[in-house]
Amino acid sequence: GAVVSQHPSWVICKSGTSVKIECRSLDFQATTMFWYRQFPKQSLMLMATSNEGSKATYEQGVEKDKFLINHASLTLSTLTVTSAHPEDSSFYICSARDDRPFTEAFFGQGTRLTVV
Amino acid sequence: AQRVTQPEKLLSVFKGAPVELKCNYSYSGSPELFWYVQYSRQRLQLLLRHISRESIKGFTADLNKGETSFHLKKPFAQEEDSAMYYCAPPNNNDMRFGAGTRLTVKP
């Protein structure tokens, strides 16, 4: 099946710095990518939806200047957490799908971000 | 607007017992429905999709348009079925998941 690779799997950064998370579709064209945040033992919370070549659509309450999303190609989307603070520590997950109907989304393995 | 509802956040059954994870959706168009599963320390993955009417790992799900439901069923639960289950939103371009259901199968 299709594969979505997310990198890094975990990262520790200092408060005030920025962190970039990459999400790559390895064998299909990801016309749409989704970024989620997941708290322990909770469901996925959608942060934003991005279509290749367009600006991301952010969910209500998600700061677009803090969580910068770039989807410049059909195989890569990035999430940059700017000026990270401890409350941004979380598990971030991306998923991707192509534009064919009735096709599922494929998920990355997630990135554990810890801000100290 | 909430597109999919999983009324049970937690569900616990004994091994060998039948299990049903409920999912109700609201959508005016033709729904594209999927069930995803997240095993401990693994990524979310597709379990099954309604369009193919398949049975995966003994699970089946029937789309009931009258009741707007897509419940997931398995006649005999196994311990390895313990996981988090998500009924995906019916509009494939609106991927806001519901709360999910954590299934625990006890020995």
Cβ within 8 Å of residue B77, ≥6 positions away: B13, B14, B15, B16, B17, B18, B19, B103, B105
Cβ-defined contact of B43 to A109 (cutoff 8 Å): yes
B32 contacts on A by Cβ (under 8 Å): 101-102
**A77 in contact with B, Cβ within 8 Å:** no
Closest CB to A46: pick one of B34, B44, B95: B95
Cβ-defined contact of A102 to B44 (cutoff 8 Å): no
* Residues A18-42: tens digit of each pLDDT: 999 999 999 889 889 999 999 888 8
DSSP chain A: ---EEEE-SEEEE-TT--EEEEEEESSS--SEEEEEEE-TTS-EEEEEEEETTSPPEEPTT--TTTEEEEEEETTEEEEEE-S--GGG-EEEEEEEE-SSTT---EE---EEEEE-
Cα–Cα nearest to A67, from A51, A85, A55, A79: A79
- B94, B2 contact by CB (below 8 A): no
pLDDT band at B22 (very low <50, low <70, confident <90, very high): very high
Q: How far apart are the first and last CA of chain B?
A: 39
How many inter-chain contacts (A to B, CB under 8 Å) are there? 47
User: How many residues does the structure list for chain A?
Assistant: 116
* pLDDT score at B56: 83
Residue type, B3: R
CA angle A44/A46/A50 to nearest 5° reads 135
* Residues A49-108: tens digit of each pLDDT: 998 888 899 999 999 999 999 998 999 999 999 999 999 999 999 999 988 877 889 999
* pLDDT score at B2: 54
The pLDDT > 90 percentage for chain B reads 58
